[in-house]
């Protein structure tokens, strides 16, 4: 893996870089669409490719349960299994265990849980998640960590971060065992909940391990926006500048701008495709809900000037009709628009950083994005 910073903003921590991974080079900052089951909901791979995505995220928890790492290994990894020839980042599965499994118990050894699909019992250890992700041939794999919700006690937050560090070490040891032909990298995860000294301690311990990249976990987990911003900025500043930084689970334009401002290079979120399936789409003036009656007769695309397939071919009236009629094509076209919109925004962000104008870009974007007030927002 090579990480080459190509431009730095003067007023903020924003930067652009080139990240060389086993399946090609990507320009950062970058938004990664989520393909939970090795499929981004509603888009064919060639659509993702045409938009310009060079990396997607897949969920280890889901793919471990179904179809299982053995089958994926028989296909020599996720890329060949799903026929996606660019990069794939996989999470460790830990977050989904905490959010989806009907039962889980954390022990020193690992996490014990029951499948949300069939109730079967499973164990994920740090070593096991590394080996699953090796079977996946993940270009970036994540360590097993303990993600905590807001408002837990200091003691619990401390225990979670300490265990996260011990698991990071075990993941590193397992990752370092060579696997011929595989060159994916391991990222550590900073936890520490919403306690500054714990964030600091976690960052020091994870950075100490000298892994190829660092992620910030446990943010955007239900805390208030100002708390998110404070902890993002506090934590990001603790991470080494020369390595890629990944903020897990964010994907609204506002959060992306905050992340970039604080020197984050990678982020992912299900939000753009999830809201699209319900008919909510991004525009430079904020999100709009396509089902609203006021679009019933609109001959205009979602956003005049948008270069996406949907905006190039369809009116809001037709899109609204598709959603009202429950046609699959509605979610398909709305998802494509939302991903195109975010990718295009990221391209503009990179350009603004190169031109030393990121702060101006952010300010202008947000001013326009929030301009329509409640009438321009999805409810």
| Interface with a second copy (CB under 8 A) | 36-46, 62, 66-67, 71, 74-75, 81-83, 296-297, 299, 309, 313-315, 317-318, 320-322, 324-325, 327-329, 331-333
Distances 192 to 91, 291, 346 between C-alpha atoms, Å:
19, 41, 29
Residue 307 CB, nearest distance to a second copy (Å)?
15
Please identify, using beta-carbon distances, which residue of 246 and 318 lies nearer to a second copy: 318
Please identify, using beta-carbon distances, which residue of 248 and 333 lies nearer to a second copy: 333
Got the DSSP string for 257-309?
HHHHHTT--EEEESHHHHHHHTTEE--TT--EETTSGGGTT--S-SSTT--SH
Please identify, using beta-carbon distances, which residue of 296 and 366 lies nearer to a second copy: 296
Contact 346, 29 (CB under 8 A): yes
**CB within 8 A of 357, min separation 6: which ones?**
none
**Lookup: tokens for 138:** 């993940």
**Lookup: tokens for 222:** 């239900």
User: DSSP 3-state assignment of 318?
Assistant: helix
Please identify, using beta-carbon distances, which residue of 43 and 89 lies nearer to a second copy: 43
Q: How far apart are CA 294 and CA 298, in angstroms?
A: 8
Q: Which residues are part of the catalytic machinery?
A: 91, 268
Please identify, using beta-carbon distances, which residue of 295 and 369 lies nearer to a second copy: 295
User: DSSP 3-state assignment of 158?
Assistant: helix
Residue 60 CB, nearest distance to a second copy (Å)?
14
């Amino acid at each position: 893996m090579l990480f080459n910073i190509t431009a730095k903003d003067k007023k903020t921590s924003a930067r652009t870089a080139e990240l060389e991974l086993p399946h090609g080079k990507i320009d950062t900052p970058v938004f990664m669409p989520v393909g939970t089951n090795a499929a981004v909901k509603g888009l064919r791979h060639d659509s993702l490719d045409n938009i310009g995505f060079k990396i997607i995220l897949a969920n280890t928890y889901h793919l471990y349960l179904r179809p299982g790492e053995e089958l994926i290994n028989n296909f020599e990894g996720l890329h060949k299994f799903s026929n996606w020839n660019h990069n794939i980042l996989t999470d460790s599965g830990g977050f989904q265990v905490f959010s989806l499994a009907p039962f889980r118990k954390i022990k020193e050894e690992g996490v014990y849980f029951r499948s949300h699909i069939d109730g079967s019992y499973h164990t994920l250890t740090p070593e096991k998640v590394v080996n699953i992700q090796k079977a996946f041939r993940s270009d970036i794999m994540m360590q097993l960590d303990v993600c905590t919700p807001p408002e837990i006690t200091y003691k619990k937050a401390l225990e979670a971060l300490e265990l996260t560090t011990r698991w990071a070490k075990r993941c590193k040891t397992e990752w370092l065992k060579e696997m011929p032909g595989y060159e994916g990298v391991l990222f550590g995860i900073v936890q520490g909940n919403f306690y500054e000294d714990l964030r600091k301690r976690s960052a020091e311990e994870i950075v100490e391990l000298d892994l190829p990249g660092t992620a910030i976990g446990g943010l955007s987990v239900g805390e208030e926006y100002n708390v998110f911003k404070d902890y993002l900025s506090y934590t990001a500043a603790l991470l080494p500048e020369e390595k890629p930084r990944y903020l897990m689970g964010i994907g609204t334009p506002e959060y992306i701008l905050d992340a970039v401002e604080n020197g984050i290079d990678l982020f992912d979120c299900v939000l753009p495709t999830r809201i699209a399936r319900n008919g909510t789409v991004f525009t430079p003036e904020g999100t709009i809900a396509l089902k609203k009656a006021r679009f019933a007769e609109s001959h205009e695309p979602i956003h005049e000037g948008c270069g996406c397939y949907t905006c190039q071919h369809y009116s809001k009236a037709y899109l609204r009709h598709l959603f009202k009629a429950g046609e699959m094509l509605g979610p398909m076209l709305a998802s494509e628009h939302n991903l195109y919109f975010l990718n295009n925004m990221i391209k503009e962000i990179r350009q603004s950083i190169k031109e030393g104008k990121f702060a101006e870009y952010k300010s202008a974007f947000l001013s326009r994005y929030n301009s329509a007030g409640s009438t321009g927002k999805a409810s």
